[in-house]
Amino acid sequence: MVKDDCIFCKIAAGQIPSKTVYEDEKFRAILDISPASKGHTIILPKHHADNIYELPEEDAAGIFVVAKKIAGAMKETMGCEGINILQNNGEIAGQTVFHLHVHVIPRYQEDNIAFSWQHGEPTEEELETTSEKIKQAIKAFD
Ligand code: AMP
Ligand code: ZN
């Protein structure tokens, strides 16, 4: 499925040019046009899904295999010292393009990229309640 007016559907289909670093039947990986660091790549499924909730399990599994290939290649060629794999869902989480994609971001000394949060200090009871809630919800999905 391709969504009308979705720029990433068009890029994934090759209708809009991109700096493609990898392509197979299901995915296209391209250089991010506005990268966080040199080599920043995004992996696009060819079938449209707005976000992770809509993504078929098969594509969810496959996209991580592609991320692993790209990460290995980056480690070899880009001289990076680490890599972040990032995937945003929803505006609050920083998603700006509503066609699911996975970021592969090579990390270099002094790259000025920051992913930070304040660590909470939940009680044992809070952790238990939260884990139960999520566990039950997962069972409902299966
Ligand atoms: P996100 O904020 O997770 O939705 O990420 C969207 C990413 O897509 C950003 O890092 C943008 O720089 C990148 N981007 C947007 N348009 C293009 C494009 N035409 N080609 C390549 N990357 C793009
Ligand atoms: Zn799309």
pLDDT (mean) for 89-98: 98
Q: How confident is the model at residue 141 (pLDDT cuts 50, 70, 90)?
A: confident
- Own/partner pairs for 52-58, CB < 8 Å, 24+ apart? 52/87, 52/89, 52/100, 53/89, 54/100, 55/100
Is residue 50 lining ligand 1, measured as CB closer than 6 Å? no
- Which residues does residue 107 pair with via DSSP β-bridges, in sequence order? 82
Output 2 or 46, whichever has higher pLDDT.
46
Catalytic site includes residue 101 = yes
CB count in 10 Å sphere of residue 104:
24
Closest ligand to C-alpha of residue 17 is 1
Tell me yes or no: is domain 7-111 CATH 3.30.428.10.
Answer: yes
Task: Check whether 70 has a pLDDT greater than 90.
Answer: yes
Looking at residue 50, its pLDDT comes to 98
**Domain boundaries in the chain?**
7-111
Q: Could you tell me the pTM of the whole model?
A: 0.97
Element (H, E) at 59: helix 57-77
- Using the 8-state DSSP alphabet, how is residue 18 labeled? -
Is residue 95 lining ligand 1, measured as CB closer than 6 Å? yes
Using the mean position of ligand 2's atoms as its centre, give its distance from the Cα of residue 98 in Å.
Answer: 7
Looking at residue 34, its pLDDT comes to 98
Distance from C-alpha of 29 to C-alpha of 32, rounded to nearest angstrom: 9
Atom of ligand 1 minimally distant from the CA of 16 = 19
